[in-house]
Chains A and B, each alone.
Chain A
Amino acid sequence: EVQLLESGGGLVQPGGSLRLSCAASGFTFNTYAMSWVRQAPGKGLEWVSSISDSGVTADYADSVKGRFTISRDNSKNMVYLQMNSLRAEDTAVYYCAKNWDYDILTGYDYWGQGILVTVSS
């Protein structure tokens, strides 16, 4: 059974940093791209970032480019999202998602339960 478990969320002040983690299990982790998608309170879904199976290729939404960094550790079946210079508009539930292929240009077949990040003073 595929499981994706996010951790690391919480309340942070504007300008602060957080690192989200996603522990994956139930599939051959190093053969699939992974992604982060967020949902602001009461709003729709927004793609944040994706990383290829090997970690060589990554891409970001313009809204987070230069502030967020996605990475993965295939030896630990983990994917991370380092979030710096956080803004109020980054407040959202962040979902870890498994892409259905190795490439970042694919959709998602499994989603985590999501974790809330609140940026507020």
Chain B
Amino acid sequence: DIVMTQSPLSLAVIPGEPASISCRSSQSLLHGNGYNYLAWYLQKPGQSPQVLIYLGSIRASGVPDRFSGSGSGTDFTLKIIRVEAEDVGVYYCMQSLHTPLTFGGGTKVEIK
């Protein structure tokens, strides 16, 4: 199984400041079509997860442009250029290159 490792486990950010979350996979997520099969999700308190980024760096429809995804192979990063209060919650990365599809353990983002 592909193991997804996120860091940090938690993050406290001042509104307006940037934030960065790392996700590492135990195997390359680069498909032969050139895309990385890596997605980022945010689960806000009491809500279902929502997609932010798919195929490594493509922002999902309706996602603010302060969110960006980067990386390739086994190392990926989600960046928020200016954190807002509504960005609190748990962020998960997920690989979909091979079954079983696997998630990272999550990174909890709080506001300072």
Chain A residues at the B interface, C-beta cutoff of 8 Å = 37, 44-47, 50, 59, 61-62, 95, 100, 104-114
Contact = CB atoms under 8 A, between A and B. Distances in A.
Contacts of A104: 99
Interface residues of B, number: 25
A52 B41 CA distance: 22
Contacts of B3: none
A59 B99 contact: yes
Contact of B49 (A45, A59, A62, A106): A45
B50 A46 contact: no
A11 to B, nearest CB: 21
Contacts of B101: 47, 50, 105, 107
Contacts of A100: 54
Interface of B: 37, 39, 41, 43, 48-51, 54, 60-61, 90, 92, 94, 96-106
A46 B106 CA distance: 11
B27 to A, nearest CB: 14
Contacts of B43: 45
A111 B96 contact: no
A109 B48 contact: no
B60 A44 contact: no
B55 to A, nearest CB: 8
Contacts of B98: 105
A112 B48 contact: yes
The 8 closest A-B pairs by CB, nearest first: A107-B39, A47-B101, A111-B48, A45-B103, A59-B99, A107-B96, A44-B106, A61-B100
B96 A95 contact: no
B103 A47 contact: yes
A62 B26 CA distance: 19
Given A107-B54, A113-B48, A114-B48, A44 B100 contact: no
Nearest to A114: B48
Contacts of B102: 47
